Chains A and B, each alone.
Chain A
């Protein structure tokens, strides 16, 4: 049977695979892909042996530094990054948990100063599974179920 790619291959760029289906658009937002002028293709609810269903994003001619891509650890801790050159995977990376997260997430504490003034939030990542983020300012801990994105 002819192999058919559900999301078309890219010649050069980055493929982000194994994204949870409910995190696809969060990853797009965190990596600011809506501002990307290169070709971006994505698929959601694709079959996955490991995850059941998954999402995938392919970004042509774009490569990501570790600290940039590690920001998605909050929503896609098992994501894998493939660097593509001339249709070949030349590097595979996994997302690593950063020690600190700046921006991306709001502090859940309604009386935190970051919710009152224009301040980029800053969190120490205490644990990633489950997510526990300690606010650098109010020192309260934002948990996974309280996490709201910018």
Chain B
């Protein structure tokens, strides 16, 4: 049997989510715990991703582990035509865990079948990026005190945005979530998710804009509306300014409401929001390190 890996957010149970939250809190309080002493972790980035790679590598360093790997496939044997199968078989003989990002969807699931050591999916194309979801959840529990009864505003590209889909699926494990979807019709939440919510009796509301309703939010999760998603550039021009969050919109929002964003941001959060204490996206990125320490420790049974 293959060792426990984290490929999709649904690979973990509710108990495991809560364990990751507890461990992340513990690592945040004591960030230098040398649990990975003597262990080698491979970070295989077949496509570049500075933020995610540095976050994982910081987590490994804080845990006292050693890192091998590459940060883009041109510096690996992939450029000589090696298959993913062979790369993973080889590296799993060297390292105690593989953390990988790959442009092909399903590549991480396949790697977890081939590998003899745990695999963490750090993004497989547009499919899954579960450590992002867990750090989003950690940011929610830290700021709201609970993952139950959260009124979540998901804003921007809800059609293609993998982070919003994974967050939605994970939050379904908790009591009484409310979802508000704010997106242009071209980028609306796909029907399969709405059908899923309806079948579970979970409330969701759809809006074309959010200025009038923003005060109900506990969490505003902003995503980027990308021009290249629109077939008709005129449609993009019409909506591009509708999904921009500005400081003046936050005046009457809840005291402990927090703004999340998976980053990088382009213009969807105006820079005048950055100094507002409700802006949480940079702390959210920092939470990523503790969450990733927690995921590594959990999968290697170190905690």
Binding site for B on A (CB under 8 A): 107, 109, 111-114, 116-119, 135-141
Contact = CB atoms under 8 A, between A and B. Distances in A.
B84 interface: yes
Interface string B75-107: 000000001110000000000000000111111
Contact of B105 (A117, A118, A137, A141): A137
DSSP class of A's interface residues: helix, strand, loop or mixed?
A: loop
Given A113-B110, A117-B83, A137-B109, 11 more contacts: A107-B106, A109-B105, A111-B125, A113-B84, A113-B107, A114-B106, A117-B110, A139-B106, A139-B128, A140-B127, A141-B192
Given A117-B85, A139-B127, A139-B128, A111 B105 contact: yes
A35 B8 CA distance: 39
A116 B125 CA distance: 13
A89 B85 CA distance: 48
A117 B8 CA distance: 21
B261 to A, nearest CB: 24
Taking residues whose C-beta sits less than 8 angstroms from the other chain, chain B's interface range is 10 to 19
Interface of B: 8, 83-85, 102-107, 109-110, 124-128, 192
B85 A138 contact: no
30 contacts: A107-B106, A109-B105, A111-B105, A112-B104, A112-B105, A113-B84, A113-B102, A113-B104, A113-B106, A113-B107, A113-B109, A113-B110, A114-B106, A114-B110, A117-B83, A117-B85, A117-B110, A118-B83, A118-B85, A136-B106, A137-B105, A138-B105, A138-B106, A138-B124, A139-B8, A139-B105, A139-B106, A139-B128, A140-B105, A140-B127
Most buried by A among B84, B106, B192: B106
Nearest to B102: A113
A45 B84 CA distance: 46
B110 A111 contact: no
Contact of B127 (A114, A116, A117, A138): A138
A119 B128 contact: no
A106 B197 CA distance: 29
B84 A117 contact: yes
A-B CB proximity, top 9 nearest: A137-B106, A138-B105, A138-B106, A113-B106, A113-B104, A113-B107, A137-B109, A113-B110, A112-B106
A137 B125 contact: no
B125 A136 contact: no
Contacts of A137: 105-107, 109-110
B192 to A, nearest CB: 8
A113 B85 CA distance: 11
